[in-house]
Structure 1
């Protein structure tokens, strides 16, 4: 009986975890459903298809940071270890 109880204690959390954690797609579905309120039929279908297939929007600040990272990364070619870390830190701090 102890073995059975022990097995259940080990397996139960694994079985419940997927039910407790919402996936990104489920979150996206919730947001799209809320935004689609008032739409019906083909209009709603088209909206949901577009909404669910769209990628997250990147803000201007995020875009600028990504561009800075690409630029610094390109300049850091040939550097390794601490030298690269120091260079990247200084490069990314530049305005």
Structure 2
């Protein structure tokens, strides 16, 4: 099985949930970031704009807790299906982050 599943993306927080806890007591924070960049594709510049759903669990959710709308974030993690029911919707599960402003 291929284990490569790494995503690095910067963006600006446009939505955030309140910090909550799972029934097992694990802290969870969900945010949405908007990403804007220019990438080189097939020798041409391409403007890239997208929104990315991000989920933080455990200690990383607690550390991310104070984040506010408008803050810029460098994100590193892996993607997974939102749920078994919504396998076509992807969520970035945060493993590391850095506030950029």
**Greater helix share, 1 or 2?**
1
Task: Confirm or deny a common fold (TM above 0.5).
Answer: no
Higher relative contact order (CA 8 A, sep 6+): 2
TM-score interval for Structure 1 and Structure 2 normalised by the shorter chain: under 0.3
> Normalised by the size of structure 2, how large is the TM-score?
0.16
Larger Cα-atom Rg: 1
